[in-house]
Amino acid sequence: MRVILSILVLIVICLGIVSSLHRIPFGNPETKIGKYCINKGREETGAANIVTSVVVNYRGFDTLGEVTILFLAAIGLGSILTSMSKWSQRKTEPASLILKTGCRFLLPLILLFGAYIFIHGHLSPGGGFQGGAIIASAFLLIYLTFHGKGMNETGSKVTESSSGLIFILLGLIGLAVGNHYFLSNFLPKGQLNDLFSAGIIPLIYIAIGLKVGSELAKVIYNLMEKS
């Protein structure tokens, strides 16, 4: 009964949406801000990857909110999982030799790859979020292998807090100098496609990468060790 009712409701919703879709032809979009960003993005932000310039500069405030959400999730998860439960004493099997050796071999490579992705965020596909996720997956490997022994909680706390602060501080510096707008790109733009170009965009993406990496790693750590 419930299933049939739900399906009926969904069909009604779907019909409604389909009736409004004819205004949105596929492959032929109405792009007012999109066109502006493509045409002006290079001069105004100096980033070769226009998606990056939209994410960090045109819509940088959204990104600040998004970083906040990830921070919230990490904090909320910590508060939910630790608020009453004690650390459960589970027996963990030691990881196999293959996993340990593989981890030692792969770990620096994964970290390097993650760092490469977020440092080159303004030049090639990728950026802070993708790079951060890759770094977090490196930490997942560590937890699987060593069961979170020697995990430095203070270090991750400092990393995530200070990278968040750097993001806001860069914004506030933009408010204080240059043309007095929050998050305005006050550094020189440089040559297109150079590593050192696009003003504050790479700096912000590095901060985001560190923050996302440490937060996702913390989420995984909390779920694995404290639940």
Partner 1 sequence: MIIVVSLLIVFMLIAAIAAIFFRDLLNAVIAACMVSLIAAILFYFLHAPDVAMAEASIGAALVAAIFIIAIRRTQRHEE
Partner 2 sequence: MVNPILLIAIPLALAFAIPLFGLISKKIIRYIPVAAFLFNLIISISLIPKVLQQSIVVKISGFQPPFGINLFVGPVGILFSTLIALTGFLVSIYALDYIEKKGSTEKYHILFLILLTGATGVALTGDIFNLFVFFEILCISSYALVAYLGNKAGIESSIKYLIQGSIGSSLLLLGIGLIYGQFGTLNMADIANQINSSSSPALFVPMVLMVTGLGVEAAIFPLNAWLPDAHSSAPSSISAILSGIAIEVGLYAVIRILLTLFNAADFMMFVLFLGLLTLLIGEMSAFKQNNLKRMLAYSSIGQIGLILFAISLKTHFGISAGLFQVVSHTLGKALLFLAAGYMIYKTGSMQISSLNGIGKKMPITSLLFTIGSLSIIGLPPFVGFASKLMVIRASLASGDMLFTILVGIILLGTVIEGTYFFRVVQSIYFKESNESVSRSETPVVGLIPMFIFALLIIFIGIYPDCISKILNAASSEFLNRLDYVRSILG
Partner 3 sequence: MEFLADYIYYIGAFGLIIIGLLIVLVKHNLIKVIIGLSILDTGINLFLISVGYLKNGTAPIFSRTDLEPGNMVDPVPQALVLTAIVIGVAILALALSLAVKLYKHYGTLDLRKIKEQRW
Q: Is 24 in the site for partner 3 (CB under 8 A)?
A: yes
Measured CA to CA, the distance from residue 127 to residue 49 in angstroms comes to 10
Measured CA to CA, the distance from residue 105 to residue 111 in angstroms comes to 11
Measured CA to CA, the distance from residue 46 to residue 52 in angstroms comes to 10
Q: Which of 68, 137, 162, 193 binds partner 1 (CB under 8 A)?
A: 137
Q: What angle do CA 64, 80, 87 make, to 5 degrees?
A: 125
Which tokens in the block code for residue 117?
A: 């992705």
Comparing CB distances to partner 1, the nearer of 17 and 179 is 17
Q: Is 197 in the site for partner 3 (CB under 8 A)?
A: no
Comparing CB distances to partner 1, the nearer of 143 and 186 is 143
Comparing CB distances to partner 2, the nearer of 34 and 188 is 34
Q: Is 85 in the site for partner 3 (CB under 8 A)?
A: yes
Contacting residues for 71 by C-beta, under 8 A, at least 6 apart: 160, 164, 211, 215
Q: Which of 45, 49, 185, 197 binds partner 1 (CB under 8 A)?
A: 49
Q: Which of 47, 64, 142, 212 binds partner 2 (CB under 8 A)?
A: 64
- Among residues 166, 168, 187, which one has the least CA distance to residue 45? 187
Q: Which of 95, 103, 111, 192 binds partner 3 (CB under 8 A)?
A: 192
Q: Is 7 in the site for partner 1 (CB under 8 A)?
A: no
Comparing CB distances to partner 1, the nearer of 82 and 178 is 82
Strands (E), 51-185: none
Smallest separation (angstroms) from partner 3 to the CB of 99:
24
Measured CA to CA, the distance from residue 109 to residue 118 in angstroms comes to 14
Q: Which of 48, 119, 135, 183 binds partner 2 (CB under 8 A)?
A: 183
